Homo-oligomer: A and B are copies of this chain.
Amino acid sequence: MSGTQERPLRADAARNRAKLLDAATEVFTTRGVGVPTEEIARAAGVGVGTLFRHFPTKEALLEAVMVRRLETIAAGTAELAAGAEPAEAFFGCFRLIVEQSAGKNEFAQALAAAGIDVHSSLRASSAVIRTRLAELLDRAQRAGAVRADLALPELIALLIGTGATLEQLGPDPAAHGRVLDVVFTGLRPH
């Protein structure tokens, strides 16, 4: 039931929808969630009317952007998690998520504040990631690559916090490396 009735979008409509998502992603990450919707429409080269037809509310647009990001992350971790040994998989995914998350926390917060809490479409994507993280953590702990007393909530909090740390630092690869090294060292047993 209920898979949204997919009547194929008209050519220009699909194009505009994509342009809107791209523009929103760009603008939200660089200038924050506070930017007026009109700016996003302009950045996408369409009118506000078009924006609101595709996304009935600003929050919905935010959500769509988030979902897309989470899916990207999920895909990335799937790839990394598949082949590698436990330790490599775990730390690789940690790095990937943290890097992909730059500037994303702000929307997550905005979303949480706006709706009662995160919407169902987000739940789906985030559940995938959550499950994968649980697996990665478990495997890495069994392999002795990660301290045994760490639970999933702490791991997730650390991912978010480390993202905030790197965001705070600005784009300085050397400093990023040192910070990640600090965290990774702390994550290993004893």
Contact = CB atoms under 8 A, between A and B. Distances in A.
Interface of A: 32, 34, 105-106, 109, 113, 147, 149-151, 153-154, 156-158, 160-166, 168-169, 172, 175, 178-179, 181-187
B151 A160 contact: no
Contacts of A106: 109
A75 B127 CA distance: 43
A166 B185 CA distance: 19
A62 to B, nearest CB: 15
B161 A165 contact: yes
A contacts with B: majority SS = helix
Nearest to A160: B168
Given A158-B182, A185-B186, A186-B187, 18 more contacts: A32-B113, A105-B164, A147-B182, A149-B178, A150-B178, A151-B178, A153-B169, A153-B175, A154-B175, A157-B168, A157-B169, A157-B175, A157-B179, A158-B179, A161-B161, A161-B163, A161-B179, A182-B183
A164 B106 CA distance: 11
Contacts of A113: 32, 34
A158 B165 contact: yes
12 contacts: A105-B164, A147-B182, A150-B182, A151-B178, A154-B178, A154-B182, A158-B179, A162-B165, A182-B186, A183-B186, A184-B186, A185-B186
A142 B9 CA distance: 65
A76 to B, nearest CB: 22
